[in-house]
Amino acid sequence: MKKEEKSERDVYLKNIVNNLPETPGCYQYLNNEGMIIYVGKAKNLKRRVSSYFNKEQQSLKTKLLVAKIADIRYIVVNSEADALLLENNLIKQHQPRYNVLLKDDKTYPSICITNEYFPKIFKTRKIIKGAGKYFGPYTNSGALNSLLSLIKELFPLRTCNLNITPDGVRNGRYTPCLEYQIKNCCAPCIGKISNHDYTKYIEEVISILKGDIRVLQEKLLTEMKEKAQSLDFEGAEIIKKRYQSIENFRTRSEVVSPLLNNLDVFSIDSDEKNAYINFLHITNGCVNQAFTIEYQKKLDEKDEELIIMGIIELRQRFCSDAKEIITPFPIELPIDGITVTVPQKGEKTRLLTLSKLNVKQYKADKLKQEDKLNPEQKTTRLLKEIQDALHLEKLPMDIECFDNSNIQGTDPVAACVVFHKLKPNKKEYRKYNIKSVEGPDDYASMREVVSRRYKRMIEEGSKLPDLIIADGGKGQMQAIRSVVENELGLSIPIAGLVKDGRHRTSELIVGENNEVIGLKQNSSIFRLMTSIQDEVHRFAITFHRDKRSKRQTKSELDGIKGLGEKSQQALLQHFKSVKRIKTADIEEVTKIIGKSKAEILYKALNKDNLTVTEE
C-alpha cells in the first residue's frame, strides 16, 4: 500500500471509530476486497474498536490484522449477552480469517424419537427439522449404545419402518414381524398396545434421556407397589426388573451427589495455537452430556475470552437452560439469571476435575492422531518443547551425547552418538580410544574426547551441534564446558542427565548455573532423553566389550607383518593353539599358509627347529 493510500485509509477509519456509539454491539473488519476478516463483540463499541488502533497495546498479530482493515461495520444490540450470541452466529456464518476457528468437522450421533403415531427411537447423524425430538449429540459412542441398550431392555418399542396409522391398525392392514415373536416389540401395528400406553413408554424414555432417572424410578416403585397390593405379582415382577435395570444404569452413571441438578461444567486447556473446551451437563448427579470443542487461535486470545465463546456455543448447541455454570476461573458472563461458580472443594470440585480430565484426554488423543498423520509435525513439536524447557535460542536439530566406559581404568573408551531431528544418525556415530589419560578418570577422558571431536569438526568445517548432552551430570557437564567454551571458544548449549538412587534418569541440568529441570516420566522429553541416554550407553558398552574381548583373545600371531587374519585363523583352526604351531613340522605349516608365509612365521617365532626346504 502506497503512503498516500495508507494515509487516506487511516483518516477514513479514524472517522468511523470517532463516530461509533458507546453501546453494546458487534463490529466487523473488512479488507480491500470487501471480505469480513474479523468479527468481535463489545460492551462499548467505541472503546473496544479504538483499542485496536492504539499502537502501545498492539501485539504483532493485532498489527497484522489492523494493516488489512479497509472498512468497519457494526451492529448495535440491547445487551452484552445479545452481542455474545450475535458474535457467535456471525463467526460461524462468515468464518473470518483472523477469528478463532471452531474446528468441529465431525458429525456426532444423536438419538431421535420420531413424530409418528407410534414413535420409533434410533441413532442418527442427520438432524431433520420437524421429524422428531433429538437428544445429543453424543461424543462417547459407548454411552450412547448403553442408553439404547437400556431403552431396548426396558421398553418393547417398535423398530420397523411401517407407516402405522389408526385406520391401518383398526382395519388389520399390518402383520407382526419376528421382533414381536421374540418379545422385543409390543406390536402396536396389530393393536396389542394402545396409543395411550405406548405414549407412556415414550415419556419414560424421554425421562431417561433427559437424565431424570430418579423421577422414573420413583414412578416405577409406586406402580410396583400398586400391582403387588392388587395381587398382580406377575406385573409387579416385570416392573421390578425394569426398576433394577435402571438402578444398575444409574449406579454406573452417577458421579456426584444426586442433589446436584441442572448444572453446566466447563474447563479449558490451551496452547499457542489451539484451545480445547470441555462441557459436562449434570442432571440429578449424573453426567447427562459430555462434549469437547476445539478452537484454532488467530490473535493470541486469552483463555477467559475463549471459554466464554465456548459456553455460548455449547449451551446453544445442547439447548441448556442450566442456571449455574462451573468454571475453573472467574469470568464475566453477561447473561442474566446465570450464576458462575469457581469451586474450591466438595462435589462441584469433583465435577470440575472430571471436566479437566476429559479436556486433557481429548487434547492428548488429538495430538496422537495428528502425530500419526504428520510425523514431521510431531518432531517439530518435540523440538519446540526441548527448546522451551532448556531455554535454547534455536531448535536443537542436531544433538550429540557423550559417554565413557571402562572397568577399573582398563581399556578406557568413549562414544559419541548423534541425533538429527530426534532420529539416530548412525553414520555420524564415533568411537574413541582414550590416549592421554591413565587410570579411571572420567572427567579427563571426557575432556580429551570432546577436544578431539570438535577440533576435528572445526578443521573440516563440519556443522557443529545445536545441543551437547553429557551422560553424567554436573561433573561431566563442567568437563565438556571447559573444552567447548574455554579452550575452543564455542557457544553450544550443554545439558547433563542426572540419575536417581535407582540409576534411573530423573533430572536434566542445563546452563552455567546448573538449572534443574524435573522430568515427568510420562512426558515426551523424558522418553526422548532416556532413549538418547540408552543409545549412547549401548554404543559405548559395545565398543568397550569388543576392545576387551580382542585384548583377551590376542595371541603371539597378532602383529606379525605379512601374516594376515585369514592365515592366522587357518593356522589356529588346524593346530588349535600357538604352542602346537611352534612344534609343528615345516611341511605341515607350508601346506596351510605357503612357503613365503612359513618363512615369515619362522622369523617371528624364532623357531630353531623350523626349516623351509626348497620344493
Instruction: List pLDDT tens digits, range 383-421.
Output: 888 888 888 888 999 999 988 876 555 667 888 999 998
Over 90: is that where the pLDDT of 246 sits? Answer: no
Classify 40 as helix, strand or coil: strand
- CATH of residue 295's domain is 3.30.420
- Flag whether 345 is in a domain: yes
Same domain, 496 and 410: yes
Classify 441 as helix, strand or coil: coil
- For the ranges 86-100, 317-331, 497-511, 593-607, the maximum mean pLDDT occurs at 317-331
Q: What kind and span of H or E run contains 507?
A: strand 505-510
Domain final position from 550, 573, 598 = 550
Residue, of 298 and 325, whose pLDDT is higher: 325
Tell me what pLDDT residue 610 has.
Answer: 43
Residue, of 465 and 128, whose pLDDT is higher: 465
Distance from C-alpha of 363 to C-alpha of 370, rounded to nearest angstrom: 11
Tell me what pLDDT residue 386 has.
Answer: 87
Would you state the cell numbers that stand for residue 233, as one nine-digit string?
Answer: 405379582
Grade residue 611 by pLDDT with cuts at 50, 70 and 90: very low
- Contact (CB, 8 A) for 400 and 463: no
- Flag whether 487 is in a domain: yes
Tell me what pLDDT residue 615 has.
Answer: 37
Over 70: is that where the pLDDT of 501 sits? Answer: no
In sequence order, what are the residues at sequence separation of 6 or more whose Cβ sits closer than 8 angstroms to the Cβ of residue 305?
none
Same domain, 506 and 591: no
Would you state the cell numbers that stand for residue 188, as one nine-digit string?
Answer: 402396536
Tell me what pLDDT residue 249 has.
Answer: 59
- For the ranges 71-85, 298-312, 519-533, 569-583, the maximum mean pLDDT occurs at 298-312
Residue, of 152 and 401, whose pLDDT is higher: 401
Residue, of 580 and 287, whose pLDDT is higher: 580
Tell me what pLDDT residue 315 has.
Answer: 87
Residue, of 418 and 600, whose pLDDT is higher: 418
Domain total of the chain: 4
Could you report the per-residue pLDDT of 529-544, keeping only the tens digit for each? 888 888 888 888 888 7
- Flag whether 237 is in a domain: no
Q: Which domain holds residue 588?
A: 555-615
Tell me what pLDDT residue 407 has.
Answer: 59
Same domain, 437 and 564: no
Over 50: is that where the pLDDT of 439 sits? Answer: yes
Over 60: is that where the pLDDT of 553 sits? Answer: no
For the residues 313-326, what does the mean pLDDT come to? Answer: 86
Over 50: is that where the pLDDT of 252 sits? Answer: no
Same domain, 401 and 543: yes
Over 80: is that where the pLDDT of 53 sits? Answer: yes
- Contact (CB, 8 A) for 532 and 400: no
Distance from C-alpha of 535 to C-alpha of 408, rounded to nearest angstrom: 23
- Contact (CB, 8 A) for 314 and 279: yes
Distance from C-alpha of 469 to C-alpha of 1, rounded to nearest angstrom: 49
Residue, of 485 and 366, whose pLDDT is higher: 485
Tell me what pLDDT residue 300 has.
Answer: 77
- CATH of residue 603's domain is 1.10.150
Domain final position from 342, 370, 398 = 370
For the residues 315-337, what does the mean pLDDT come to? Answer: 86
Count of Cβ atoms closer than 10 Å to residue 231 Cβ: 9
For 105, which DSSP code? -
Distance from C-alpha of 309 to C-alpha of 295, rounded to nearest angstrom: 10
Tell me what pLDDT residue 99 has.
Answer: 83
For the residues 289-315, what does the mean pLDDT come to? Answer: 85
Residue, of 511 and 45, whose pLDDT is higher: 45
Q: How far is CA 325 from CA 314, 319, 328, 351, 414, in A?
A: 12, 14, 10, 11, 61
Over 80: is that where the pLDDT of 498 sits? Answer: no
Grade residue 503 by pLDDT with cuts at 50, 70 and 90: low
Same domain, 500 and 569: no
- Flag whether 590 is in a domain: yes
In sequence order, what are the residues at sequence separation of 6 or more whose Cβ sits closer than 8 angstroms to the Cβ of residue 123?
109, 110, 111, 112, 144, 148
- Flag whether 224 is in a domain: no
Same domain, 464 and 529: yes
CA-wise closest residue to 199 among 238, 239, 157: 157
Tell me what pLDDT residue 328 has.
Answer: 93
Domain final position from 500, 532, 550 = 550
Same domain, 419 and 507: yes
- Flag whether 486 is in a domain: yes
- Flag whether 227 is in a domain: no
Q: What kind and span of H or E run contains 400?
A: strand 398-407
Same domain, 322 and 427: no
Same domain, 391 and 491: yes
Same domain, 546 and 559: no
For the chain, what is the mean pLDDT? Answer: 81
Same domain, 268 and 355: yes
Grade residue 86 by pLDDT with cuts at 50, 70 and 90: confident
Could you report the per-residue pLDDT of 256-285, keeping only the tens digit for each? 566 677 889 999 998 878 899 998 888 766
- CATH of residue 408's domain is 3.30.420.340
Residue, of 210 and 591, whose pLDDT is higher: 591
Q: How far is CA 406 from CA 262, 416, 475, 535, 541, in A?
A: 68, 15, 17, 17, 9
Q: Provide the percentage of residues in the chain whose pLDDT is more than 90.
A: 10
For the residues 184-209, what does the mean pLDDT come to? Answer: 87
First-to-last alpha carbon distance for the chain, in angstroms, is 99
- Flag whether 279 is in a domain: yes
Over 90: is that where the pLDDT of 476 sits? Answer: no
Sign, CA dihedral 592-595-599-600, equals negative
Q: List 531's β-bridge partners, or say none.
A: none
Grade residue 465 by pLDDT with cuts at 50, 70 and 90: very high
Same domain, 271 and 333: yes
- CATH of residue 71's domain is 3.40.1440.10
Grade residue 254 by pLDDT with cuts at 50, 70 and 90: very low
Over 50: is that where the pLDDT of 9 sits? Answer: yes
Q: What kind and span of H or E run contains 279?
A: strand 274-283
For the residues 169-186, what does the mean pLDDT come to? Answer: 87
Tell me what pLDDT residue 419 has.
Answer: 93
